[in-house]
A and B are shown apart, each in its own frame.
Chain A
Amino acid sequence: MPIHRRRFLTALGAGAVASTAGCARLVGGGGEGGSGGSDDRPAVAGETLTLTTTTSTYDTGMLDEIHTDFEEMYGVTVDAVAQGTGAALESARNGDSDVVMVHARGLEDEFLRNGYGVNRRDLMFNDFVIVGSESDPAGIQGMSSATEALTAIADAEASFVSRGDNSGTHTKELNLWEAAGTEPGGDWYQETGSGMGEALNIANQQGAYTLSDRGTFISQRSEIDLTILVQGPIEDGPEILANPYGIMAVNPGVHDNANYDLAMAYIGWITSPGTQDAISDYQMNGEQLFFPEAVSEDPDFQQYVPEGWSSDSSDE
């Protein structure tokens, strides 16, 4: 940001004839302020890191809880913008954010392959659950296969609420329908185009089924009558309902104004043992919402590259 302020002021200075001296002084001042002079403060102090992330991480309040630590450590501000996964990646693609934290591996991989993201790390995970009213008109309670459950819902034409907003949860839901070999459609299938909390409320009012991340469901459980009918892998459900979160820095080669060094400091900090413990300790209504997975003794090269990528293959 300071670079651009300087560039802007330089342009102003060049344009103005009468006040050249004044502008030159301004330019100098901006430069000094931007590079953060004094010895006891880190050079990044005062900068802002823009993080675009998903509603499911933001709405749990977990980020606010842990960000204070990072802000104090570096003397910086983190602007967390909650969007859907699709929108969060789009903002980053336009160079409007410095780091992205999302949960849709397919979209993350596309982002990496197109050169917008670098230095991807696996961050944490929780899981998706299929929730619905206790009356369970499609009889999916306790099914061990998510795809069979969706097929049963489609066969029964029982109401299903879809996020319909290109979020990570929506992407997962579409993948599940595809895996189930069913094309959802008809009066029973409603795309709401809303956040998870709203989708849960709509499902609650209509006695419909929906796919939810466990975190949002837990945070809202006390206010709605829905119950978990098909568990995710955290409670021994099918692995297909896993919900892994990844974090990537915006490629400074594509967007030269991306705050890359601070983004990498952030990725280093959030994947460090201390912060991973803080993520694991964060609870809502007595339940853990996110399970850290960045710290591991064993190498996991697949987290750095698009899934299935190998240097041997002809793939780019």
Chain B
Amino acid sequence: MPIEPVVGLLPGLLDLPFRDGYVSSVIYVSLYVSLTAVALSTLFSVPVAVLIGFSEFPGKGFVKSVVNTGMGFPSVVVGLVVLFAVSNQGPLGSLNLVFTREAMIMSQFVLATPPITAISLAAVSGVDDGVRDAARALGGTRLDAALVVLKEARYGIATAILAGFGRAISEVGSVLIVGGNITGADGISKTRTLTTAIQLEARQGQYETAMILGAVLVVLVLTVNAVVVHFGDGGVNR
């Protein structure tokens, strides 16, 4: 389904006043940073969601509120905090991460983790208690039960990952601050993402090229969503 808009965009892409390889390198950096951040975030968030979902402890409601609040973290503030951490003067200063993709991944990890955790938690909590009890009754360990619940909740978790990805790839505030929006003199992006490229064009008043880059971003997000939903559906039908 998303093929038609892509084809429709191609003539526009060819007309862009950019050097060879610029747009594709910007897309590459966007995907590299956001996908890596979301992958790390998923590895962290899903086990945490299962852990919280499976256990009863005082203050569980409070923990949930904190995670939900995290979904509203302003990306600029996250960028500032990460910048403070990785800056030469900060605690991670000796790693020289300022203006690198690694720093961008760090800030997007912070941004993507709350939505992935919160939505996964909702998905896990939504699985009928009977499923878990049955798994335990059949002699499964806690891990077995967790895996069964995860399998039941996979569509919700896919949604969580997509939400995290959407948050990561569309945010501009933090990657601009910690990444520096750098492109080499040869026109190949180092830390420029689609969002910061759009911001740069808008700053220069080049609203048309900014719009075209925006369309590229939308198509990219659509494609990733389509791929994930496709696999999600496949899992349901299998």
B180 within 8 A of A: yes
Which of B181, B184, B190 is the most central at the interface, judged by chain A CB atoms within 10 Å of its CB?
A: B184
Interface residue range, chain B: 20 to 34
CA distance A219 to B182 in the complex (A): 21
Enumerate chain A residues within 8 angstroms of B183, measured Cβ to Cβ: 64
A124 within 8 A of B: no
Enumerate chain B residues within 8 angstroms of A91, measured Cβ to Cβ: 98
A272 within 8 A of B: no
**B190–A195 contact, CB under 8 A?**
no
Contact of B88 among A68, A81, A96 (CB under 8 A): A96
CA distance A216 to B95 in the complex (A): 36
CA distance A63 to B205 in the complex (A): 19
**A59–B99 contact, CB under 8 A?**
no
**B181–A81 contact, CB under 8 A?**
yes
**B202–A50 contact, CB under 8 A?**
no
Chain A residues numbered 150-171 whose CB sits less than 8 Å from any CB in chain B: none
Contact of A82 among B93, B181, B185, B206 (CB under 8 A): B181
Contact of A195 among B93, B94, B185, B204 (CB under 8 A): B204
Using A64-B187, A197-B204, A219-B204 as known contacts, say yes or no to A7 and B181 having CB atoms under 8 A apart: no
**In the assembled complex, how far is the CB of residue B209 from the closest CB belonging to chain A, in whole angstroms?**
11
**In the assembled complex, how far is the CB of residue A218 from the closest CB belonging to chain B, in whole angstroms?**
12
A118 within 8 A of B: no
Chain B residues numbered 190-210 whose CB sits less than 8 Å from any CB in chain A: 190, 200, 202-207
A275 within 8 A of B: no
CA distance A224 to B88 in the complex (A): 41
CA distance A231 to B215 in the complex (A): 39
**In the assembled complex, how far is the CB of residue B150 from the closest CB belonging to chain A, in whole angstroms?**
33
A77 within 8 A of B: yes
Which chain B residue shows the least CB distance to A65? B185
Interface of B is mostly: loop
CA distance A45 to B220 in the complex (A): 36
Enumerate chain A residues within 8 angstroms of B182, measured Cβ to Cβ: 79-81
**B205–A81 contact, CB under 8 A?**
no
**In the assembled complex, how far is the CB of residue A33 from the closest CB belonging to chain B, in whole angstroms?**
15
Using A64-B185, A220-B205 as known contacts, say yes or no to A94 and B95 having CB atoms under 8 A apart: no
CA distance A91 to B176 in the complex (A): 13
Per-residue CB contact flags for chain A residues 56-67 toward chain B (1 = under 8 Å, else 0) read 000100011101
CA distance A220 to B186 in the complex (A): 23
**B99–A96 contact, CB under 8 A?**
yes
**B181–A67 contact, CB under 8 A?**
no
**In the assembled complex, how far is the CB of residue B182 from the closest CB belonging to chain A, in whole angstroms?**
5
Enumerate chain B residues within 8 angstroms of A55, measured Cβ to Cβ: 203
**B202–A198 contact, CB under 8 A?**
yes
**Residues on B facing A (Cβ under 8 Å):** 87-89, 93-96, 98-99, 180-187, 190, 200, 202-207
Return 10 A-B CB contacts under 8 Å, by A number: A1-B96, A4-B95, A8-B95, A68-B186, A71-B184, A71-B185, A81-B99, A94-B89, A96-B98, A198-B203
